[in-house]
């Protein structure tokens, strides 16, 4: 598989584009993730002409609206320039399958950015550029580098990246009703680990050659929105037990007991998700099932990423 195109704040790659002329190179991003992702760097503050080094900016609330202005020079208001820049880059962003932003940035922060009101501040803001970029690209998985330190959030982001990548591959090959329903079937167990998949299934029940484009647009919006919800242990247990049902005619009593025990230990938090999944893969190698083999749930991304080892 070729590397997946991912947008990223340039400072996280080690580029000296920070306000102080420095960077915030992230070892996990430039190490592990760079083996699978083709990072395309962006720095809106530099790209709108603020330069490096530069005067610092922050978010302030003026008449209920957020503005991005200079700290030492409040007359410097770059709010519209940042929004317009995100709009001008829409075509570049359309080719991406994900985006990693610098946290706490008044331009790039995804969430909980400081907003000043006089001498006080509250963490309720979103970076001006980031907000417009996300509005224009509702399907795009977006995360901050700080939140990638959380195992659940990291796995959720990377899983969404691979789902969107596969979606774009399908579109490149040509959208058809059968292709769309097959895509859903391969991702159904993943969806189940996040939420209920029945609404999407009902949407696809009426797909035809005439309405396939419209149905596909509704489907992918609903899918990517659903996957934003981080899968929890309870939902994973439901999926594991569902998968176990495909082995009911093939497992000996002791193998079944062992599998039930392993799933229960996962439910109680004693072992990570990789353990029951590895055991299930072992049994399906002996007793293959076409549906399970075709599903992405047990192999949603390269195993070298080791994301489920900590879930």
Query: Which positions of the chain have pLDDT values less than 70?
Result: 1
CB 153 within 8 A of CB 134: no
pLDDT of residue 62: 84
pLDDT digits (tens, 9 = 90+) for 257-307: 999 999 999 999 999 999 999 999 999 999 999 999 999 999 999 988 888
pLDDT of residue 45: 96
Domain ranges across the chain: 4-149, 176-311
Q: Is 110 exposed, middle or buried (0-12, 13-18, 19+ CB in 10 A)?
A: buried
What's the CA gap between 15 and 29, in Å, rounded?
Answer: 13
Q: Whose CA is closest to 217, among 138, 113, 99, 100?
A: 138
pLDDT of residue 2: 87
| Predicted model pTM | 0.95
């Amino acid at each position: 598989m070729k590397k997946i195109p991912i947008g990223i704040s340039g400072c996280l790659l080690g580029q000296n584009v920070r306000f102080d002329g420095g960077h915030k190179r992230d070892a996990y991003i430039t190490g592990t993730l760079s083996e699978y992702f083709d990072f395309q760097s962006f720095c809106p503050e530099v790209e709108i002409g603020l330069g490096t080094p530069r005067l610092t900016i922050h978010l302030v609330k003026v008449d209920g609206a957020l503005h991005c202005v200079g700290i030492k020079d409040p007359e410097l208001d770059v709010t519209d320039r940042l929004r317009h820049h995100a709009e001008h880059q829409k075509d570049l962003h359309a080719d991406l399958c994900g985006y990693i932003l610098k946290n706490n940035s008044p331009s790039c922060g995804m969430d909980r950015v400081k907003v000043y009101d006089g001498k006080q501040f509250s963490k309720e803001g979103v970076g001006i550029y980031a907000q417009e970029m996300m509005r224009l690209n509702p399907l795009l998985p977006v995360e901050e580098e700080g939140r990638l330190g959380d195992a659940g959030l990291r796995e959720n982001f990377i899983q969404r990246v691979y789902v969107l990548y596969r979606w774009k591959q399908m579109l490149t090959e040509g959208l058809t009703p059968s292709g769309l329903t097959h895509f859903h079937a391969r991702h159904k167990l993943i969806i189940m680990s996040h939420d209920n998949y029945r609404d999407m299934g009902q949407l696809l029940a009426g797909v035809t050659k005439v309405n396939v484009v419209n149905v596909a647009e509704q489907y992918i919006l609903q899918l990517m929105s659903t996957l934003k919800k981080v899968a929890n242990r309870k939902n994973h247990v439901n999926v594991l037990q569902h998968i176990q049902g495909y082995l009911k005619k093939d497992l000996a009593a002791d193998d079944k007991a062992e599998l039930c025990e392993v799933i229960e230990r996962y439910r109680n938090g004693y072992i990570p998700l990789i353990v029951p999944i590895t055991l299930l893969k072992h049994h399906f190698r002996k007793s293959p099932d076409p549906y399970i083999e075709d599903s992405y749930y047990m192999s949603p991304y390269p195993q070298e990423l080791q994301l489920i080892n900590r879930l």
